Amino acid sequence: MIKRIAIFGSTGSIGTQALEVIEANPDKFSVEILTANSNETLLVEQAIKYNPNIVVIGDELKYTKVKEALANTSVKVFAGEDALKEVAGMDCYDLMLAAIVGFAGLKPTLKAIENKKAIALANKETLVVAGDIVMQKAIENRVPIIPVDSEHSAIFQCLMGETRNRVEKVYLTASGGPFIGRKPNYLVNVKREHALQHPNWEMGAKISVDSATLMNKGLEMIEAKWLFNLKPDQIEVLVHPQSAIHSMVQFEDGSIKAQIGVPDMKLPIQYALAFPARIPNNYPRFSFKKFNEFTFEEPDIKTFKNLALAIEALQKGGNLACIMNAANEIAVYAFLKNRLGFLEMTDVIEKVMGEVKFIDKPTLEDYFDSDADARTLAADIIRL
């Protein structure tokens, strides 16, 4: 049977690569839903090429343009945040690729889970913000959540066949980003274009900046906690500049399993879309001949303080990760607009985490309120 795919965030880096995977496997996948926030031009191009059942443009001001561009097709066009949630609740698809960047991906993902749709999760912020609620909903609705992040996909793959075996620790590997080994006197002068030059991966702007600050690895630690039901002390970050080992799992007997591959996001995307099957492809293969050694080192959390803040949020729990994520999204936005310095992002996040009300056992509504409060405070601090 052909698996019907809904790509929420089809114009971003993950979404466009997912479409390449689907195009290469027309006997296995079809495109049913495509959504974008504001890139109406690419959304229209994708709709014409892949002929989905439905498209949604988040920016309601661009609805007319998309509607008119697709007037001669059978594609149904919707717009707005409410439409994203409504479409996620429809029955015309089998699996949602949750690739909307940031907090905005939470509501449609929750709706898809309530609709008992399988989730290929590329939006780590969904679990960072409300991992307890999301995972509980997934259990209640018997919905599989298959990670797309390369690190979590690696852990997921290492755990296959190990259901009865207790995990002692997971190792999340980090490339170290473009500024590995640099100190604050260098980082103070970093600009947008420098932070976007990742040495190993091709990613969107937001995740590239998060990688450069090591916030991305902090978000991944929190995501791993919820995905794999881990305690904070079971999660360790190792800087691995070669980006060949995508993560490792250590079991209670001391044995370690690692997942190795080339740094290409199409691999974990394909794995998530096709799960539980593995399907052939013609992607470049990993070659041990090209690597003289694999190296690992501790992350420098004194210089890259965002990772330290994320570890604090991981350990304290409650709504602190939600607050941190919201402040980070605003800070990264300001940095990308050249309104905030590289190191100043950390200052903003730390201040917001210290001032927004902490809630030990938040409800879903508490998470939404905390997110809004943190964004408002961060914007006020930056004077956006």
Its pTM stands at 0.92
Note the pLDDT of residue 201: 60
Compute CA distances 19 → 8, 26, 276, 374, whole Å: 12, 11, 19, 34
Q: What gap in Å lies between CA 262 and CA 276, rounded to an integer?
A: 21
Residue spans of the domains in the chain: they are: 3-147, 152-264+278-304, 317-384
**Count of Cβ atoms closer than 10 Å to residue 176 Cβ:** 24
**How much is the pLDDT for 279?**
96
Distance from C-alpha of 384 to C-alpha of 377, rounded to nearest angstrom: 10
Which residue positions in the chain have pLDDT lower than 70? Answer: 198-202
Beta carbons within 8 Å of 354's beta carbon, 6+ residues apart: none
CA neighbor of 255 nearest in space, from 153, 174, 166? 166
Q: What angle do CA 107, 15, 240 make, to 5 degrees?
A: 100
Token representation of residue 110: 């929750």
- CATH placement of domain 3-147: 3.40.50.720
- Specify whether domain 317-384 bears CATH 3.40.605.10: no
pLDDT of residue 202: 65
